[in-house]
Amino acid sequence: VKTGTKYYTPILPPAMAVLEKYHYHLPRFSQQAYNRLLKCIGVLIGTKKNLSSHIARYTFATTVLLAHEVPIESVSKMMGHTRIQITQVYAKILNSSVEKQAERLANIL
């Protein structure tokens, strides 16, 4: 919505199971209410992290997508970014990904 750019994010099996369980009718929250609920969850689980929708997006990009070697172009599309450069700033490159790529290169050479 922010950029007006269309985005595409496939629904993974665990999320699809939740959608099916609730017959595709999930409650809708404003971003403010959503962030308030995330803060409550943070208190319940005892985290010191300041949970928010932005942190959720960042975590999804780094620990779910990039950590599992989803190409940055796909991450950018899923996040609805207008330029790859936005995604590169938004999502840090993980050391584990660099190490995996180095191992692949060593095996090729």
Which residue range(s) make up the domain with 18? 13-108
Instruction: Please check whether residue 56 lies inside any domain of the structure.
Output: yes
User: How many separate domains does the chain show?
Assistant: 1
- Mean per-residue pLDDT pooled into runs of 10, the chain (109 residues): 70 93 93 93 92 87 82 87 82 66 83
Instruction: Please check whether residue 26 lies inside any domain of the structure.
Output: yes
Instruction: Please check whether residue 2 lies inside any domain of the structure.
Output: no
Instruction: Please check whether residue 7 lies inside any domain of the structure.
Output: no
Question: For the whole model, what pTM was predicted?
Answer: 0.62
The contacts of residue 100 (CB under 8 Å, 6+ apart) are 69
List the structure tokens of 21.
Answer: 């369980």
The contacts of residue 33 (CB under 8 Å, 6+ apart) are none
Instruction: Please check whether residue 4 lies inside any domain of the structure.
Output: no
pLDDT at 13: 93
d(CA 37, CA 41): 6
Instruction: Please check whether residue 5 lies inside any domain of the structure.
Output: no
Instruction: Please check whether residue 78 lies inside any domain of the structure.
Output: yes
